[in-house]
Amino acid sequence: MGAKAVKSESGGDGTVIRFGADKPLRLDSGAILPDLEIAYQTYGTLNAAKTNAILIPHALTLDQYVASTHPLTGKPGWWVQVVGPGKLIDTDKYYVICSNVVGGCMGSTGPSSTNPSTGKPYGLAFPVITIGDMVRAQAMLIEALGIETLFAVVGGSMGGMQVLQWAVDYPEKLFSAICIASTARHSAQNIAFHEVGRQAVMADPDWRGGDYAAAGVRPDKGLAVARMAAHITYLSEQALQRKFGRELQRDGLSWGFDADFQVESYLRHQGVTFVDRFDANAYLYITRAMDYFDLPASYGGLLAEAFRKARNVRFCVLSFTSDWLYPTAESRIIVRALNAAGCRASFLEIKSDKGHDAFLLDEPQMHAAMNGFLTATATERGLT
Amino acid sequence: MSIPQNTREDFREILRLVRPGARVLDIGCGEGELLDLLVREKGVDGRGLEISEAGVSACLARGLAVVQGDADRDLADYPTRAFDYALLSQTLQAVREPRHVLEELLRIAERAVVSFPNFGHWRVRWDLLRKGRMPVTRTLPTPWWETSNIHLCTLADFTDLCASLGVRVDACAAFGGGKPARGIEPTRPIENWRSEHALFLLSRPDTAPVAKAQAVDSDRLL
């Protein structure tokens, strides 16, 4: 196991940790990943008792740059509203860890990594990974950092799925959990939207059966379309209407297929910028991991059984009124199961018209709820 | 115990009734004042259900485990006998199906503590008799068209409902006007006249009778 430390300009400590053949990652599919690399950022200082660590698992297309400048886009961290010195997740108080998921494309082992048996990028030879695999890799990282118990795991969307998986697989390593705008299993509609995205990628002639790297091309068009379709699911109808309505880009219609409407131009921009920072195969693998996510499945279909060992974990579940991707009903299923398992669960549905993406935006009520929960939980943990 | 001086009389009574260390679900827990008291003073394992976002948020900041939801819809989410006590303070008259909610309380918990404003109180009767209008009193301060109290009842109505559901009344206290709660026999007509609020400790007949340790004074035992 070796690590090379890279101090990033924005204050976070960026590092890649490598687990050799002595510590392979055993995947849910039965496959084994030798030579596992996990890229991660840390913020703040681990206290002497090692009780102040917060892990923030990221969502589908996000990464470890939760509170530091993204190296490719130059944009600020994706949750700087929440994470940083003096912020809600106060890096003067907590030691924050955010790692790129296994299967990702920002430094952790994924389909664009080199396959040791061929010396070429894995492509589709990369094994299918699951949310459980992502969490298992994170647990290896946490152990390597010498942390026995995380004070909290906090995540939204796919990050929330990892939060739930943590509570099910490692309840003894967890003091509290915040799961935002998420679900315990992917619905038919969730899978359907992901399939549209994957088909868009695979329909791009430059995808080349996943071996585009060897050919020196990239399926940018397909990936951009996938992003455009997915982006619509992150917003509410109201938010789209308010932002764009039927506003035109120029005076009058083109009577053709240019981006006449502002909403078209916006989506095209989302697609085009996305391909600069994301790998098409990683998109296939991570969406697949989400589609396979079904927490109750291994527990006879009973989600409450999954949470049975997590009775000492303090849970906070949050949802948004206008989130139709992971609607409140999904969070209520989680809360009902937590109640049935006798877990300490809190739940709040936050009024917002911003759709699924609300968890990344300035939502004072979400911030107030998280702050209240974290502060009270920190007091219980003896953190001041 | 160090119960604050200004603690509501019904809260004091509930604090007295609830067994230390019990599992408690407070339905309609507001900003969590009662639940907080119960956790601190009685060491209960407390959970709450609250409809308002502000209430849930305040509870989170107090470190309480509270779920947003309402008594009419969300009690079904709780498993049978998950709690020792289900508390429903000043809320029964505001639910859509009080009878169903009462049954749910005694499914979820071994005992239910239910309090409500008594519509049989003399001031209410006097208002109705004298003015011929829906009473507006200190207990029922809002006019009929904006009140959330859609299922008001009298002490006699409530004891009838309990009897018809086969629910046992383990203890009953009357309170109001800032005076200390007093144990009453709820079926006595005089109590229906003079009780401003009533608080009941209820259980199913197959539940063990209330133990002395539950601090029901001998003169309050029925």
For residue A1, pLDDT over 90 is answered with no
Buried b (16+ CB within 10 A) or exposed e, B100-111: ebbbbbbbbbbb
Chain A positions contacting chain B at CB under 8 Å are 314-316, 332, 335-336, 339-340, 342, 344-351, 365, 368-369, 371-373, 375-377, 379-380
The label of the residue with tokens 């989600």 reads A303
Report the percent of chain A where pLDDT is more than 70.
Answer: 97
Residue B208: predicted pLDDT = 79
Query: Chain centroid to CA A106: how far?
Result: 13
Nearest CA in chain A to B51: A348
The label of the residue with tokens 């195969």 reads A281
Residue B221: predicted pLDDT = 39
For residue A124, pLDDT over 90 is answered with yes
**Cα–Cα separations (whole angstroms), residue A160 to A15, A52, A178, A239:** 24, 20, 7, 23
List of residues 6+ apart from B196 with CB closer than 8 A = B117, B118, B121, B123, B139, B174, B175, B176, B177
Residue B9: predicted pLDDT = 86
Length of chain B: 222
In this complex, do B77 and A332 lie within 8 Å of one another by their Cβ atoms? yes
Dihedral of CA B92/B97/B98/B103: which sign?
Answer: negative
Strands (E), B51-191: 65-68, 83-89, 109-117, 168-176, 179-183
Question: What global pTM score does this model have?
Answer: 0.93
In this complex, do A340 and B79 lie within 8 Å of one another by their Cβ atoms? yes
Look at A4-8, A159-163, A364-368 and tell me which has the smallest mean pLDDT. Answer: A4-8
Among B63, B67, B79, the residue with its CB nearest the CB of A376 is B63
List of residues 6+ apart from B15 with CB closer than 8 A = B1, B3, B7, B37, B38, B41, B42
Q: Minimal Cα–Cα distance from A345 to chain B, Å? A: 5
Residue B21: predicted pLDDT = 97
Active site residues of A: 157, 323, 356
For residue A130, pLDDT over 70 is answered with yes
- Mean pLDDT score of chain B, rounded to an integer? 90
Q: What is the pLDDT of residues A46-72, one digit of tens each?
A: 999 999 999 999 999 999 999 999 999
Which structure tokens are listed for A343? 């877990």
**Cα–Cα separations (whole angstroms), residue A335 to A25, A311, A339:** 31, 13, 6
Q: What is the pLDDT of residues B13-70, one digit of tens each?
A: 999 999 999 999 999 999 999 999 999 999 999 999 999 999 999 999 999 999 999 9
A4 or B113: which carries more pLDDT confidence?
Answer: B113
Nearest CA in chain B to A371: B61
| Cβ atoms within 10 Å, residue B23 | 18
Residue type, B42: K
Closest residue by Cα to residue A287 from A101, A73, A39, A55 = A101
Closest residue by Cα to residue A198 from A295, A106, A111 = A111
Instruction: Give the Cα separation of A93 and A103 in Å (integer).
Output: 31
The label of the residue with tokens 């006998």 reads B81
For residue A382, pLDDT over 70 is answered with yes
Instruction: Give the Cα separation of A325 and B88 in Å (integer).
Output: 35
Q: What is the pLDDT of residues B158-211, one digit of tens each?
A: 999 999 999 999 999 999 888 889 999 999 999 999 999 999 999 998 887 765
Q: What is the pLDDT of residues B55-69, one digit of tens each?
A: 999 999 999 999 999
Contact (Cβ atoms closer than 8 angstroms) between residue A66 and residue A269: no
List of residues 6+ apart from B107 with CB closer than 8 A = B80, B81
DSSP bridge partners of A26: A32
Closest residue by Cα to residue A179 from A27, A326, A18 = A326
Instruction: Give the Cα separation of B87 and B24 in Å (integer).
Output: 7
For residue B214, pLDDT over 60 is answered with no
**pLDDT range class, residue A159, cuts 50, 70, 90:** very high
Q: What is the rounded average pLDDT of the residues A35-44?
A: 96
Instruction: Give the Cα separation of B195 and B183 in Å (integer).
Output: 11
Does B65 touch chain A if contact means CB atoms closer than 8 Å? yes
For residue B213, pLDDT over 80 is answered with no
Q: What is the pLDDT of residues A224-265, one digit of tens each?
A: 999 999 999 999 999 999 999 999 999 999 999 999 999 999
Residue B216: predicted pLDDT = 43
Closest residue by Cα to residue A177 from A190, A188, A168 = A168
List of residues 6+ apart from B198 with CB closer than 8 A = B115, B116, B118, B155, B158, B172, B173, B174, B184, B186
Contact (Cβ atoms closer than 8 angstroms) between residue A176 and residue A202: no
| Dihedrals phi, psi of A194, to nearest 5 degrees | -65, -35
